[in-house]
């Protein structure tokens, strides 16, 4: 559905296009400069290549022949302790003597290498800082939505701050999407599970359960960039764009996202290939790591974000799909007091997606709600609130009001 509304007070489409292009270019250039200054560790796990192993080789020979650290081989093939003594121990211990077949030894080394490289590519100090800032800074939009006092100025400030702090300064990793994507890719390619990533996923999902998709809404570095570009275009009466907006039907977007997730998982386990890796949009904050195809995809996706609300989140994001399921458990979320509701559907009309339609009409599995707050400011009777379960009581009029709303849907 495309919305248009003439207005003399809104800027021209060319102005919005120039602003959006400026934001995209600035983010890419500033992120490139930030990564050079920070001298961050390289992303991804370097390939081992074909390993040369025979049953009668000592562990020291396996390490030397394949140019691997002795500690890695010792840890993989169960020599304890796997430290400086490993090289001495590996002089006499053989692959067969440790109870491994050649294929088992090869698999063990590949898995151990993957886990060691995964750990070495992580800057845990930066990761802890980022998680701490997420938890602290997300209090601001939470308070503004609860009151509610989320003005356009506050919105643009928070979104811009999220892009700069969580993206440009602190980089592409960690991210909510990466916890799901990399966990599946690592399990598919190397058959291992990186426990710190699983813990990070648990934290992100806990934030979703606490406040509806809040980490995606106001903390995810690529999510806030998409939202910022969309908000530059959505001015005047919020339901309209300076450049006409496109609302993709929820049934279409969620079907695409589910199919993409299934294909991504099957390719990861069937062909040991990370389908998202070459086009990972979070590499927007590390442009030097992007492929040409990835750069083209990301730029097109960001341009698309000007007229479509969070296209990556709705169409492709693995964490978006998983968190959509966990939204059902959210403690603080958009709630409707049907005693106050006058069935005007202003909240539904101003919602940038079909989320409020599902919430208002009581659907079991409504579209993703990104807690943007448009429904709160649209409601003329303050029947829509962002609150916990005890703050809004539907009352006896709920069934009657739902019937009326659904009849006019």
Report pLDDT digits (tens) over 208-221: 999 999 999 999 99
**Residue range of the domain that includes 10:** 2-38+138-325
Angstrom distance (rounded) from CA 315 to CA 178:
16
- Say whether both 156 and 258 belong to one domain: yes
94-106 average pLDDT score = 87
Confidence band (pLDDT; 50, 70, 90) for 43?
Answer: low
H or E stretch covering 94: none
The structure tokens listed for 278 are 């070459």
Whether 53 is in a domain gets the answer no
Q: What is the pLDDT of residue 2?
A: 46
Q: Are the beta carbons of 176 and 197 closer than 8 angstroms?
A: no
- Say whether both 319 and 339 belong to one domain: no
With 80 as the cut, is the pLDDT of residue 47 above it? no
Position with higher pLDDT, 395 vs 360 = 360
H or E stretch covering 11: none
Q: Which of 120, 147, 168 delimits the end of a domain?
A: 120
Neighbours of 330 (CB within 10 A): 21
Neighbours of 88 (CB within 10 A): 11
- Say whether both 180 and 64 belong to one domain: no
Task: Please report, for residues 48, 148, 240, 350, 386, the alpha-carbon distance to residue 378 in angstroms, rounded to integers and kept in the order given.
Answer: 56, 11, 13, 7, 13
288-310 average pLDDT score = 96
Q: What is the pLDDT of residue 3?
A: 46
Which residues in 44-65 are b (16+ Cβ under 10 Å) and which e?
ebeebeebebeeebbbbbbbee
Backbone φ/ψ region at 81: left (φ over 0), alpha (ψ -120 to 50), beta: beta
Q: What are phi and psi of 298, to 5 degrees?
A: -65, -45
With 70 as the cut, is the pLDDT of residue 72 above it? yes
Which residues in 287-321 are b (16+ Cβ under 10 Å) and which e?
bebbeeebeebbbebbbbbbbbbbbbbbbbbbbbb
Whether 16 is in a domain gets the answer yes
Whether 190 is in a domain gets the answer yes
Q: Which of 84-88, 306-310, 343-347 has the highest mean pLDDT?
A: 306-310
- Say whether both 25 and 67 belong to one domain: no
64-74 average pLDDT score = 88
- Say whether both 232 and 344 belong to one domain: no
The structure tokens listed for 160 are 């811009």
Tell me the per-residue pLDDT of 337-362, one tens digit each, with 9 for 90 and over: 888 888 888 999 999 999 999 998 88
Angstrom distance (rounded) from CA 284 to CA 29:
10
Structural domain count of the chain: 3
Q: Are the beta carbons of 86 and 79 closer than 8 angstroms?
A: yes
The structure tokens listed for 107 are 């698999």
Task: Please report, for residues 249, 304, 311, the alpha-carbon distance to residue 256 in angstroms, rounded to integers and kept in the order given.
Answer: 11, 16, 11
- Say whether both 167 and 245 belong to one domain: yes
Whether 356 is in a domain gets the answer yes
- Say whether both 81 and 222 belong to one domain: no
- Say whether both 78 and 176 belong to one domain: no
Confidence band (pLDDT; 50, 70, 90) for 83?
Answer: very low
Q: What is the pLDDT of residue 409?
A: 52
Q: Looking at residue 177, what DSSP letter applies?
A: H
Q: Are the beta carbons of 334 and 211 closer than 8 angstroms?
A: no
The domain that holds 358 is classified in CATH as 3.30.70.20
Position with higher pLDDT, 370 vs 396 = 370
- Say whether both 232 and 345 belong to one domain: no
For 129, residues 6+ apart whose C-beta sits below 8 A from its C-beta are 170
Confidence band (pLDDT; 50, 70, 90) for 5?
Answer: very low
Q: What is the pLDDT of residue 402?
A: 72
Whether 132 is in a domain gets the answer no
- Say whether both 193 and 278 belong to one domain: yes
Whether 129 is in a domain gets the answer no
Confidence band (pLDDT; 50, 70, 90) for 206?
Answer: very high
Burial category of 365 from C-beta neighbours within 10 Å (exposed 0-12, middle 13-18, buried 19 and up): exposed
Angstrom distance (rounded) from CA 370 to CA 359:
12
Q: Are the beta carbons of 228 and 163 closer than 8 angstroms?
A: yes
Whether 250 is in a domain gets the answer yes
């Amino acid at each position: 559905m495309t919305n248009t509304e003439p207005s003399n007070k809104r800027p021209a489409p060319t102005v919005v296009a120039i602003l959006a292009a400026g934001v995209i270019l600035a983010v890419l250039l500033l992120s490139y400069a930030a990564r050079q200054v920070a001298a961050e560790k390289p992303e991804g796990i370097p390939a081992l290549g074909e390993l040369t192993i025979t049953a009668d080789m000592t562990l020291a020979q396996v390490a030397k022949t394949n140019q691997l650290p002795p500690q890695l081989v010792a840890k993989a093939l169960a020599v304890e302790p796997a430290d400086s003594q490993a090289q001495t121990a590996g002089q006499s211990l053989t692959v067969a003597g440790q109870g491994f077949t050649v294929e088992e030894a090869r698999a063990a080394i590949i898995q151990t290498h993957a886990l060691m490289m995964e750990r070495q590519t992580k800057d845990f100090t930066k990761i802890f800082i980022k998680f701490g800032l997420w938890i602290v800074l997300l209090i601001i939009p939470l308070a503004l939505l609860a009151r509610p006092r989320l003005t356009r100025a506050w919105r643009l400030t928070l979104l811009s701050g999220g892009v700069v702090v969580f993206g440009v300064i602190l980089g592409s990793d960690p991210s909510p999407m990466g916890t799901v994507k990399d966990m599946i890719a690592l399990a598919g390619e190397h058959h291992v599970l990186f426990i710190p990533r699983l813990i990070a996923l648990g934290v992100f999902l806990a934030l979703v359960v606490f406040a509806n998709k809040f980490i995606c809404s106001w903390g995810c570095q690529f999510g806030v960039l998409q939202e910022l570009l969309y908000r530059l275009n959505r001015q005047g009466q919020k339901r309209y764009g300076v450049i006409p907006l496109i609302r993709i039907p929820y049934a279409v977007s969620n079907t695409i996202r589910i199919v993409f997730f299934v294909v991504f998982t099957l390719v990861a386990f069937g062909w040991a290939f990370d389908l998202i890796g070459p086009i990972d949009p979070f590499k927007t904050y590390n442009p030097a790591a992007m492929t040409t195809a990835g750069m083209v995809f990301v730029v097109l996706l960001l341009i698309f974000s000007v007229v479509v609300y969070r296209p990556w989140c709705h169409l492709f994001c693995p964490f978006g799909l998983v968190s959509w399921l966990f939204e059902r458990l959210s403690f603080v979320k958009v709630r409707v007091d049907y005693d106050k509701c006058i069935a005007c559907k202003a909240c539904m009309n101003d919602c940038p997606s079909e989320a409020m339609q599902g919430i208002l009409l009581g659907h079991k599995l409504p579209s993703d709600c990104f807690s943007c707050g448009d429904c709160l400011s649209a409601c003329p009777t303050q029947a829509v609130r962002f609150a916990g379960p005890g703050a809004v009581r539907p009352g006896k009029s709920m069934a009657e009001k739902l019937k009326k709303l659904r009849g006019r849907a």
